[in-house]
Structure formats: structure tokens, C-alpha cells
Chain A
Amino acid sequence: MPNRATAAENTQLDAVVDQLDSIVVGKSNELKLALATLLAGGHLLVEDIPGVGKTTLARALAATIGLQWNRVQFTSDLLPADVIGISIFDVHKQTFQFHQGPVFTSLLLADELNRAPPKTQSALLEAMEEHQVTADGNTYQLGNPFFVIATQNPQEQLGVYPLPESQLDRFMVSIELGYPDTHSEREILAGTDRRDLLDATDPVMSVDNLLYWQAKARQVHTAPAVLDYIQNLLAATRELALNGKCNNGLSPRAGLSLLSMCKAWALLHGREMVIPDDVQSVFTSVASHRIAGSLRKGLPITTELLTSVDVG
């Protein structure tokens, strides 16, 4: 059986999932989605109120995989240079010296992205897309892997600049952490402080391992029947958009993102083939923010789509 062959090898991914589970309790599905996004080479958007563990999630990922990470708290007076870096005149050398900003890292936690002015937002989003930044005419390559976890406060507030849909498309996946259930909350309250736990965490995977798994995810087999199903779903969203039932239909880029996520999800579950179940598992997180602007608004639409489009 093709999926048994990788079972032994797959233990490393299982170990990552287990370790993440022990730090961020009760959020198994969201953790897997975040990990799959990382494997698929995309970026993650977390829509949530403060204090539900967004930072913990980012730090847990960084700690478990051994990634270098930075955090930027976005505010309304944040400038692009604060994110990507700035050239300062070096008096001794009589030249301008580029000082790398927080974006030069492997995992960037962009907190409350929607508080920053559009110019700053787009500087980051460009970096996300191109995997490079340009300052004063010089281009600087970003590291590989480069993974952004941006958070957005869904509540309507003064002084925020909601991301336009075209920018939302840059995020492969959006998730919502939400409050933990009673049992998990008790564990958080009664257990060790998360920060101590994170400090004590040893990575179970190296950056090289991560690159290997990313390559492996790209090789997962996708049968024509699955592609049919994906195409049917894409077509259904476009039909909805035409009828005015949602803002946008899914773009081909969204289709590619969906496919990458399906592969990563399949790999995460020890399979070398994508099955329709994978598509269904990741569809809501990939499609919601693109078609309706947010996960919360998109959820009923994607649910309807999944229960109406025939599985190939």
C-alpha cells in the first residue's frame, strides 16, 4: 500500500504535531492547518481577538521546528522601513549601510496587521509574495523558509485599515483559534506557564528537514478525479459570485493554493495521494477569506458548497 511505505518516515511529522498539541492545547485542527500551510510554502492569517494563543502558536511552531523568528506589532504609525529595514549613513565608512528589518527571518509574526497603514501593509505583503525586499534600489533576498503568520482583529474598530481582498489572496490559509473548550482551558490554567514550556521546548525538526518535507509535499500524487473535484468547487464559487451570493470567485492562484494545501494535508496524514476528504478538510480555510473577506463570513458559504458539489 503506498501510504504504508511512508509510515515510518512520517513519524517525524507526527512528532511535530504531537509537540505542538502539547503546547497549544485543544486546537489540533488549527495546528495541523498551520503546519500544512508551512509545508505548502504559504502564509497564514489568523483572525482572532487578543489572548487566545496566536503568539503561542507562532512561537510553538518556531520552537518545534527550530526556526528563527521575529515579531512585529503593527501600529498606525509603523513605516515600511520599520518592517523591511533602513539604510543609515555610516560616518566611518562614508557609505550608506542597510540595516535589515524584522522581515529578515524565517518565521515572522505580524501582529494586528490591519492596524498599520496600507503602505506598510503592502510592503510586507510584497515581501511575502516575492520572497525579497527592495530598498534604495538594492534587492535583498529573504531567507528560506520564509513563513508569515499575520493576525487580524475581526472586531470593527476605529483606526484600522482592513486588508483589501486582493491582499487577502496572498495568504494561503486563514484560521480562527477561538476560545479553548472547558477541558483545554483547565489544562492551560492548571498547567505550566506556556512561556516556560516554550523555553523548555527542543526542536524535533531542523530547517533542512522542513525543506525536505516541503519538497515531499509537492510530490504528493493528485489524481484527475481530485482535480475535477477541485475545479468543480472553483467553478461553483465563481457561479456564486456571478449570482451575487459572495464577493469573489476563487482565482486560479487560489486554486493552486488549494491544491498545495491538499497535498500538504495528505502528507501530514501519511498519504502519498490526495483524496477528496483532504480537499474538504482544507477548503474552508483556503476559500473563506478570499470569497467573503473573512473566515466567519465565508464559513456558511463554503459549508453549503461542500454539501452541494458532488464529490468526484
Chain B
Amino acid sequence: MFGRNQTDSSHINNRTTDTRLSQHTIHMLGVTVLLSQLPLLLHLPGWLTLPGIALTIAKLRTTAVSKPLLQPAVTVILVLLAVIAVFANYGYLFGRDPCVAFLFLLLSFKYGETKRNYDASLLVILCAFLLITQFFFRQSLVSAVISIPSMYFIGLSLFVVQRGNAETNTRTMVHTTAKLFLQAMPIALILFVAVPRISQTPWNNGGSGHATTGLSSTMSPGSFASLSKSNEVAFRVEFDGSPPAPQERYWRGPVLTGFDGYDWFVMPQPTRIDSPTGPVRDETSSNSRVINYTVTMVANHQPWLLALDTPIGIPVPGNNKKLKVSMNDELQIDTSMPIDQPLRYRASSTLTDKFTAVVTPDGATLITTSSNPEARAFAMQLRSQYADDASFVQAVLQWFNKEPFHYTLNPPKLGRNAIDDFIFESRRGFCEHYAGSFVFLLRAAGIPARVVTGYQGGEMSDDYMIVRQSDAHAWTEAFIDSQWQRFDPTASVAPERVEQGATEALRGDTSQSLLSKIELPFFNNVVLKWDAINFAWQRMVIGFDSEKQSAMWRKLGIEKPSAWMIVIAFIIAACLWALFILKPVGDLLGGYGRERLKPCEKHWQKLATKLHRNGLTRLPGETVTAYIERACEKWPHYRNQLQLIKQSYYDGMYSAVGADPAHHHKYALTIKRELAQINQL
């Protein structure tokens, strides 16, 4: 209709002071509550959240304005029930998950009993708070995007509640909220960029029993095969220079020296190297290429980092200052706690396949236990044919290459002496089979050797590399000529695994279940694009730490400003903002759409606001005369002032004389003067 909301007249009557919410407002709040609750459905157990959602919807569907859905006594019982349910589910009350679940339910209860303005304001604030809690669980781009509608509705609800139900029509409110929302974006952006960063997120993200993905500290036949089926991203890398060639992309992870006859595992407490310059620089490889890069690791809940073989320094974590990183003499990079949030770190490596050991390998690197007698015998026999270690190792590799070994994801089941079974019977296996048997053969022949796990490969997407779980790999290192040298027996069997990646190597394999990638160029493109977007989010938003911030200031040619500078800059910015942005919006809210208010109008608006606050609201279509008349009736002792204001307002706004700015100003001053006398209403 004509710029007015055609809502029922009940709240027009009590618009002045009151308090009861209209049906329309209740609905608006309901939508806000639902939108704030929805993202948490992904993170909380259904049997706790669904009753809450049901209650919200029930309230949303009720039509009785006057009666709240929940009586206070019922609410008390419900709150008690909620405490019990939350405790029953989690076993404790003070932690991230139970607290969020409890807040989730409280929000529904609060909405259920909402009937007054006061409740509504509180409810909207609670919604905003609940909306934030989803970021305790996940800080992805998707979480950010799905919270936008709820934020908009929170803004709209605030508007609706503050404007007393029917004062402004819905369309205006929707538009104005959208406008304010859009205007708030640049401010939020500036605040995000300029406010000094807190390096550690204030909440503790751990202790939620996530299933770990990726590498583990033990390796048994079959463990890598399952990993290879996962297309999940393990980490992403940005190289300072050009990326290494495919056959050089060995990402070093846990080093498995321990062997119990079947499983390979990380040996506890090896010597730690804490020197920041890194452990070893090999003379022979000193002229090989040094490469610097930044890794963004997905939270894998494991206490180690990955680096290109061979790392030459301890990586420096960027966004988690509390995390302590160390490297042991096996060049395995450990962290003081599991990686529970996406982590960015800088690392440097030389692209070499050998390095000088700091300490001579101990007996652990020779342990073969008493298992696998056939393999042991075979190793002894082969060893007798070759004098030096290097040619023996080459012979073993050649043997793997010559014999009909087959690279497959679905190897047959192996017995207790798994290595015997594998190298003489089945001869079908995956990287862990080859690496394990190879190390076993070397050890049996008296050469110190160990299994290194990590990732091999990586796919370039624009300017960064994606390494997926399917790139997980195991290779070996043997101690020859006082150097640890890398050997990859898998490469002898299936060279394309190293050069082109696991997917390519398994192309002929009967089980294509590994290929979660679909062979459609368009689809692959979309997947890569999506990954690029996610990564950009990780890099630019989640990974925007104090260091990046300093870098940004440097790029702008400014020293990192002090907190004071920032505060002053913001005060100035806020003033400018108020002057140029908020004022036109304020005029717009007045409903006149004029660029600038005339002085008389401005002072008149002040009076109108004052009267409105004291319970006398100007009705739609009410003239100044009628409005002032009502005011005079209500406050007869101000009659003179009010009449004078009215007269001056008319003269200033409507008369021919008032069109002249000088005279207009005079009338405006009269209004101001009289207005000052009206103090206590």
C-alpha cells in the first residue's frame, strides 16, 4: 500500500510504550532463531537438536499473540531436562560441545516464552552468540557463507523489535537492513585487516574425539591401501620458486624404524635436534637446489609436520605461536601438540635423496626379529654374491623389478610371516608391502634401513600444490657410506606411481574403487576450482595472522602501526562514516528521502523524537498542527513554547520569507531556543 504496513490495528494502539510483540515480529524472530540454529545441526547430536528445532517451529506456527507457548514453570522443567540430556550425552557439562548444545536448547526455550520487547532483544543477542559458536567446530568458507542469512535476519529482527512493530513498513525495513548490512561489510573488512591479530584463538579446540585421518605412527600391510581411497586434501603448498619435479616430490613424515615382525612403528624418544639451522648439510648435495615453501596443513589431529625430503631447518609455524616444533635425528618433524586447527608453516628443503647422519644408526635399524625365515635366507644368499652394500641394494631393487611383482590396491591376505608370503607367494601389493619387504631384506643382510612414510606427489592448481591422502606413500632409507640414502622399491615395480601418481599407476588395476575422481575434465575442473576457493579462504582469512598483517603494512609502506594509531584512525574513520553514510540513512529512515534536512526540519525532528520518547508518537499523516495540539493537551505548561515552535516551523518551512536561508536560520534558532526550554516532559 502507500508506504505503510497494513498490520492489524491492535499494536497501533499500544505502539507508544508497549511491549507486546506482534505476530509479525514473532514470526520474524522465529526465522532468525531457526537460521541461527541450523548450522549447528551438523555439529551436535540429532536427538538433542531436533527437539529444540521442533519447539521453535511449534512456536512459529502458533497464532495466539497474547499467550506465550511456554509457561514459566514449564520452562524451568525443560531447562532441567536439557541439563540432564546434555550430561547424558557427553558425560560432562563444562566443555565446548555440551555448552553449545545447552545454549542451542536454551535459545529454543527463550523463543518459546518470548512475548515482550525485552525478551525479543535478548533473544536476538542470543541468536548472534549461538551463530558464532559454529565456528568453534569449523571455520570453513561454507560455515561463513551459511551464516550470512542468519546475520541478515538478526539485523532485521533488531530493526523490527526496535521500531515498535508497525511504525515502518516491512519493505522499507528489509531494504534498510540490507543497505546497512552492505555498508557494514567494508567496515568489517577494514576491522579484520587492521585490528591487531590475536595469534591464538581464544577457545580450546581440542578434546572432541575426532577420528584421525592420514598417516599414523604405525604401518601394517593394508594401511596405505585404505588411505589411497580417500580423496581428502592432506595439505597444500605454495612454493617461493618453481615447484619440484614429480619424482622429487617426497613429503617426509613419520619415520618407522621399529619392527615387531609384522608392524612397522615410530621408535619412541629419538634424539632431538633443536638447533634452528637444521641438522645436516651434505657436502655432496650442497650444490643441489634449496627450496622454500609454505605449507597449509588441514587439521589432522596428529603431532607431526611434513616437509620435502630433505628438510634443512625446523619449520616455523605461522598462525599458532604456542606450538613447539622440533626435529629428531631421523629428520622427523614433531610438534608439541596435535594439529587441531589448520596450520600454516614455512619450511626449507634441499632436493636431495641422501644426507649425512648426525649419529651412527643404532641396533634398532637392524632388528628383523625371528620372523620371515625364507626372506632372511634369501637375503643372506643374495648378500654373499655382492661385496659392497650399494651393489647389494641395487641387486635387490633389480630383483623386485625383474620378478613378476604387481602393483595393486587389493592384495591377497597375508599370513603371519607376511613378508615371506608377499615376496615369494602373492607378489601383489602396495607401497607398504614393497617398502616393508625391502627394509627387511636389507636389515637381514646387515644394512641399517628404515621405512619412511609421507606423501609422494601432488597436483598443481594454479599457483599452489594440493597433496591428497591418496598420495600417501611409504619408501625406505638405507645407511650406506655413512649416509642415509633414499630408495623407493615401489618405483622399481611401478615407476609410474612416482612419476604420475597413484591414480595413474593403478589404471590397469581391477579395483577402480580408489578412483573417487571422476574422469570428466569439466568435473575435475570444478573440483580444482572449488579447492582453489577453499584454499584461498584458508590462506587469506583463516591464515591471516599477525605476521601476514605486518607484511601487509610493510607492503603499504607503513611501519606496523601501534595500537594507539589504530584507535585514532578508527575514531576518525567512524566520524567520517557517521557524517557521510549514516546521515543519509537517517534521513531515509525519516521517510522523506531528502538529501539534507533543512535546519528547521532538523530541530523539529528533535522535538518529535523527544515527544516520541515520552509516549507521544506522531501518527501517519498527522499534521504538525494536530501533533502539537496533542502535545499541548498532554503537557499544558509547555503550550507557549510548543505553539511558538509550531509557528516558527511553519514560517521557516512554508512561508515565502522562510525560503530565504537567512530568515530560515532565524526561525530554526527560535525552534532551538524554545526546544531547550522544554526539558522535563
Contact = CB atoms under 8 A, between A and B. Distances in A.
A, B from the same assembly: yes
Interface of A: 1-3, 221, 223, 225-226, 236, 239-240, 272-277, 280, 305-312
A4 to B, nearest CB: 11
A289 to B, nearest CB: 21
B620 A310 contact: yes
A277 B623 contact: yes
A104 to B, nearest CB: 39
Given A226-B654, A312-B592, A307 B659 contact: no
B132 to A, nearest CB: 39
B591 interface: yes
A225 B623 contact: no
Contacts of B619: 307
A221 B621 contact: no
B650 A307 contact: no
5 contacts: A221-B656, A223-B653, A309-B3, A310-B591, A312-B592
B651 A305 contact: no
A310 B650 contact: no
A312 B1 CA distance: 18
B630 to A, nearest CB: 14
Interface of B: 1-4, 591-592, 619-626, 647, 650-651, 653-659
A272 B624 CA distance: 18
Contacts of B654: 221, 223, 225-226, 273-275
A272 B656 CA distance: 8
B3 A275 contact: no
Contacts of A275: 623-625, 650, 654
A301 to B, nearest CB: 11
B656 A305 contact: no
A236 B656 contact: no
A306 to B, nearest CB: 5
B667 to A, nearest CB: 10
A274 B625 CA distance: 13
Contacts of B653: 223, 225
A277 B625 contact: yes
A223 B626 CA distance: 20
A305 B2 contact: yes
Contacts of B658: 223, 273
Contacts of B657: 2
B623 A276 contact: yes
Nearest to B590: A310
Contact of A308 (B3, B626, B647, B650): B3
Contacts of B624: 275-277, 311
B2 A308 contact: yes
A7 to B, nearest CB: 14
A184 to B, nearest CB: 26
B655 A2 contact: yes
A70 to B, nearest CB: 39
Contacts of A308: 1-4, 620-621
Contacts of A236: 2
Contacts of B647: 1
A236 B655 CA distance: 26
A4 B647 CA distance: 12
A2 B650 CA distance: 11
A281 to B, nearest CB: 10
A275 B592 CA distance: 17
A273 B4 CA distance: 29
A268 to B, nearest CB: 16
B655 A272 contact: yes
A307 B621 contact: yes
A307 B9 CA distance: 13
B623 A280 contact: yes
A309 B656 contact: no
Contacts of B623: 275-277, 280, 311
Nearest to A311: B623
A223 to B, nearest CB: 4
A88 B442 CA distance: 141
Nearest to B618: A311
Nearest to B625: A277
Contact of B2 (A273, A274, A309): A309
A79 to B, nearest CB: 46
A1 B651 contact: yes
Contact of A310 (B3, B625, B651): B3
Contacts of A273: 650-651, 654-656, 658
Q: Which 4 A-B pairs have the closest CB atoms?
A: A221-B656, A273-B655, A223-B654, A307-B621
Contacts of A1: 647, 651
A225 B3 CA distance: 18
Contacts of A274: 654
B651 A307 contact: no
A221 B592 contact: no
Nearest to B598: A225
A308 B12 CA distance: 13
B660 to A, nearest CB: 12
Nearest to B626: A277
Nearest to A276: B623
A311 B621 contact: yes
Given A307-B621, A311-B622, A311-B623, A2 B2 contact: no
A308 B624 CA distance: 15
Contact of B651 (A2, A226, A306, A311): A2
Contact of A309 (B592, B621, B651, B659): B621
B353 to A, nearest CB: 81
Contacts of A239: 1-2
Given A275-B623, A280-B621, 18 more contacts: A2-B657, A221-B659, A223-B658, A225-B653, A225-B654, A236-B2, A239-B1, A272-B655, A273-B654, A273-B656, A275-B625, A276-B624, A277-B625, A305-B2, A305-B621, A308-B2, A308-B3, A311-B623
Contacts of A310: 3, 591-592, 620-621
A178 B317 CA distance: 91
Contacts of B622: 307, 311
Contacts of B2: 236, 239-240, 305, 308-309
A308 B647 CA distance: 24
Contacts of B650: 273, 275
A2 B653 CA distance: 13
Nearest to B593: A228
